[in-house]
Amino acid sequence: MYAIIETGGKQVWVVPGETVKVEKLEAEKGASLTFNALWAVGDAKEGQEPACSRTAKVTATVVRQGRGPKIIVFKKRTKKAYKKKIGHRQWLTEIKIEGISLN
């Protein structure tokens, strides 16, 4: 069983029990979140195709808030004596997918 959810302007492929890092969400550690699935597929039964749904709900729990790895942005203009170095670390929320419910 899997689903595709949208959060932070990005689409994420999730599976129950998986831990995923997404852009920062305003939620405390241990809080429960619900996402609407853009697409979800259930387990296939013998001799049947898997159930698909566009109205599924994905429940998740916030594991922790943190920051991602540092990304270096370096700009240089040749023959102009111009150099600029900037670092950036994105705020991230780590969530654990608890379950997917097909409607």
pTM of the model: 0.82
Confidence (pLDDT) at 55: 87
- Residues facing residue 61 across a β-bridge: 32, 96
Among 91, 53, 54, which Cα is nearest to 69's? 91
Number of domain units in the chain: 1
Print the domain residue range for 67. Answer: 2-101
Confidence (pLDDT) at 81: 96
pLDDT digits (tens, 9 = 90+) for 35-80: 999 999 988 777 778 888 888 999 999 999 999 999 999 999 999 9
Torsion of CA 6, 10, 51, 32, to 10 degrees: -40
Distance CA 41, CA 20 (A): 19
* 21, pLDDT greater than 80: yes
